[in-house]
Chain A
Amino acid sequence: MDYSIVITIVRYVLGTIGYWMILKKCGDKPYWAAVPVAREYHIGKCAHMEEEARTFTILTLATYVCQIIMAFLPDGSLRENLVSILLIAIGLASAVYMIRIFLGLCRVFGRRKLWVVLFVLLEEPAALIWGLSKKFVPNRQIEDFSKAEGAKLAGVDAKPLDKGLTINIQDRTVVDFFKKKYLLRDIHMNIPTGHMVLLLGGSGAGKTTFVNAVTGYEKARAEIRLNDQNVYEDYASMKYDVGFVPQQDLMRGNDTVARTLADAATLRLPSSVHSKERWERVKKVLEEFGLYAVRNSLVEKLSGGQRKRLSIAMEYISDPSLFILDEPDSGLDGVVARSLFEKLRKIADEGKIVIVITHTPDRVIDLFDDVIVLAKDNLRTGRLAWYGSVEESYGFFGKNSMEEILLSINQKEEGGEGRANEFVEKYADHIQEKAG
């Protein structure tokens, strides 16, 4: 009789019992402990290490596949040797991920890291101890959104504007490891031209996803209209009319300021623009952004403020109708940041729409017309908690500053008041009331 098979079965049964209890304690469905491959993913989830859990699951699956292939290959053959080399490599990677996940489990159960040694050497007895002993209790449960309902939907589409930006986002979803996940839902608004709008939201509220959906860079189930054009349908041409300034100053440090701007102009301006005209535009923008004096300097030699202005100028050069900036004031002191926002205000006053994400809005809030407040509801979906004038927003949230508003919608574990759902629903009522 081949005892190795018996030992493998006994080990698997013991492991299943141990992990069954552990998953139960973590608030997960315990039957996953009995399913090979899925077990690894759910243990990782229990350790609150979902990303590692996915990789570990894929590695486990690859291990099983290699073992099955090896069973069909002749002993000592070249192919068998190649598969066994692959198996060794996968095994080493699996071991690293296993250690990471067990370390995560130790954190969640508040136990010493030494337990990892026992888990690696004697996984099944360790799992049994953790599963059966009442002393082993996790300090965090797995969040199960499968039966929860999100905050109420307003479901009122914004009517398209002749001059301005109309946003009607039904939802923006991704399929993440076989699960559909809502990133944004039910966001509708009209932003008239000439408005400078603050985009406010805690981390993970979906600000960048929202911006990408609005610009058509990552399409949502939505209709976005800029003036009289559909951004999604005409994306190839519309992308030149939308300027997006990323948070980091993504420019080549070894080019001169003038050259950087000239190349940006060639890339973004229509090909019908004559070279002389293009250089005049470059000169004008350099002067407007206070960069003319440093036009021959290398980008890497510029100060933080100058670099930021150049980054904005690169998008401004094509004179876009919609201008979106992701934290343009990061790393800038108050005075420099203020002057930058004043420049943005001037751009908005030229008849553009300027949307700005910033984490320090209160020092420049007087320059904004409107504010968009995005919040994570109980399903961790980005929802609209407010869009309207800055003044009205204080009354709506019952707060005196943007930072207080942000705190009120942030989750409790983030140090906030955790009132996102309340305000999302209040805003939905407000919109439905307005729509009659």
Chain B
Amino acid sequence: MNEKTNLRHTGHISQTVIYLGKLFRMFIFQNDWKVLPMSAVIAGLVSFAVGRNLFRTMEGTLTGTFALSCVCIWNGFFNSIQSVCRERAIIKREHRSGLHISSYVAAHLIYQSILCAGQAVITITVCSVLGVAMPSKPLVTPWPLVDLAVTLFLITFCADMLAILVSSVAHSTTTAMTVMPFLLIVQLVFCGTVFPLPEGVSWTSNLTISRPGLTALCAQGDYNDLPMVSIWNSAVKMENVEINGIKPVQQALIYIQENNLQEDFMKKTAEKNQKPEYAFDPEIVKSSWFMLILWAFIYICGAVISLELIDRDKR
């Protein structure tokens, strides 16, 4: 037997280290580093637009956490949507020379998790600097900001892994970039909270990243304990409505204000609009985190399977 061919070659761990090195060099020498300042800019824009009432009122929390989820999904998608498909031909060559696809994907997973963690920290920092209220009560860990960071990290990471899957399946960057907005729209529209879905298809929201992400964020912000302002605001708009010569809404508003019941009114209206799925309960946050990890795992497996078939690419 030929001695040369009976030798052991580089294992999975060593290969992962090689590719991690490549990815970090890409981060420095290519434009991959730009995703970090970009995430700061996006967080800043979102804080400016929806940050005022985030974790202060029910409505502000719902739209704000939705926007935060979207920021994380956007960051995750942009981190890696082109990362695999842009070097597909190179991967094919290297696979032929002994590359383990699982090592290649593992390297991406580690590298992207570091990026996502960085982005979660950047997002929280920017929001705090711009005066956005942060959850003050701890839920899973003893530190509320850590809970928030973990949720933001997991949403970003899960979206990142979905983008890696798309990038592994797509044969070109053009295809991947065409699919990305479609996926983004699905994540936004099928979240099931901001845009309520018809009854028959409401289950589809469980397939999105935004749903568990938003649930965890709302639970951490103690959504059910926040006041609801929309009914009060609507009532104020209707105070001059006359019925049979009297202004009933105005009379009610005057009564509430004179007796300092405005806060109670908002609390009472909030009580009627509480959602059990957003309860301030560590189990809800944990199950949302579990869902995000599960989806990320499924996407990673999909990426590995898809890349294992890379040798079947047509010339």
Contact = CB atoms under 8 A, between A and B. Distances in A.
A237 B6 contact: yes
B7 A272 contact: yes
B1 interface: yes
B25 A250 contact: no
Contact of B22 (A237, A246, A255, A319): A255
A234 interface: yes
B90 A250 contact: yes
A266 B8 contact: no
B98 to A, nearest CB: 6
B8 A315 contact: no
Contacts of B96: 217, 239, 244
A271 B11 contact: yes
Interface in B2-24: 2, 4-11, 14-15, 18, 21-22
Contacts of A298: 29
Residue of B6, B10, B30, B200 contacting most chain A CB atoms (<10 Å): B10
B185 to A, nearest CB: 14
Interface string A310-342: 000001000101000000000000000000000
Interface in A42-90: 78-79
Nearest to A265: B10
A254 interface: yes
A244 B96 CA distance: 9
A250 B89 contact: yes
Nearest to B4: A241
Contacts of A227: 2
A271 B7 CA distance: 8
Interface string B171-203: 000000000000000000000000000101100
B173 to A, nearest CB: 15
Contacts of B97: 239-240, 244, 264, 267-268, 315
Interface in A5-49: none
A250 B88 CA distance: 10
Given A240-B98, A254-B26, A254-B30, A248 B89 contact: yes
B155 to A, nearest CB: 28
A255 B90 contact: no
A271 B90 contact: no
B93 interface: yes
Contact of A241 (B2, B29, B94): B2
Nearest to A238: B5
B283 interface: no
Nearest to A246: B93
A226 B4 CA distance: 12
A87 to B, nearest CB: 18
Given A250-B89, A267-B94, A267-B97, A228 B1 contact: yes
A259 B28 CA distance: 15
Contacts of B4: 240-241, 319, 321
Given A227-B2, A228-B2, A298-B29, A268 B18 contact: no
Contacts of A264: 97
B2 A268 contact: no
A14 B93 CA distance: 53
A355 B48 CA distance: 64
Contact of A267 (B5, B6, B10, B21): B10
B9 A240 contact: yes
A252 interface: yes
Contacts, number: 90
Contact of B93 (A241, A250, A266): A250
A271 B8 contact: yes
A270 B89 contact: no
Interface in B226-260: none
B7 A270 contact: yes
B9 A208 contact: no
B1 A229 contact: yes
A238 B5 CA distance: 6
B5 A229 contact: yes
A270 B89 CA distance: 24
A288 interface: no
Residue of A250, A263, A267 contacting most chain B CB atoms (<10 Å): A267
B93 to A, nearest CB: 4
A251 interface: yes
Contacts of B1: 228-229
B25 A272 contact: no
B87 interface: yes
A78 B93 contact: no
Contacts of B7: 237, 240, 270-272
Residue of A227, A259, A270 contacting most chain B CB atoms (<10 Å): A270
Contacts of B50: none
A268 B98 contact: yes
B198 A266 contact: no
Interface string A343-356: 00000000000000
Contacts of A234: 5
B5 A237 contact: yes
Contact of B200 (A78, A252, A269): A78
A260 to B, nearest CB: 9
Nearest to A320: B4
B311 interface: yes
Contacts of A218: 311
Contacts of B5: 229, 234, 237-238, 240-241
A266 B26 contact: no
Contacts of A229: 1-2, 5
B150 interface: no
B25 A255 contact: yes
Contacts of B94: 267
A332 B134 CA distance: 62
Contact of A78 (B21, B87, B198): B198
Contacts of A238: 5
6 contacts: A78-B198, A226-B2, A239-B96, A251-B90, A267-B94, A272-B7
Q: Which 9 A-B pairs have the closest CB atoms?
A: A270-B7, A237-B5, A78-B200, A254-B29, A250-B93, A250-B90, A254-B30, A271-B8, A250-B89
Given A238-B5, A250-B90, A315-B97, 4 more contacts: A208-B315, A229-B2, A244-B96, A266-B10
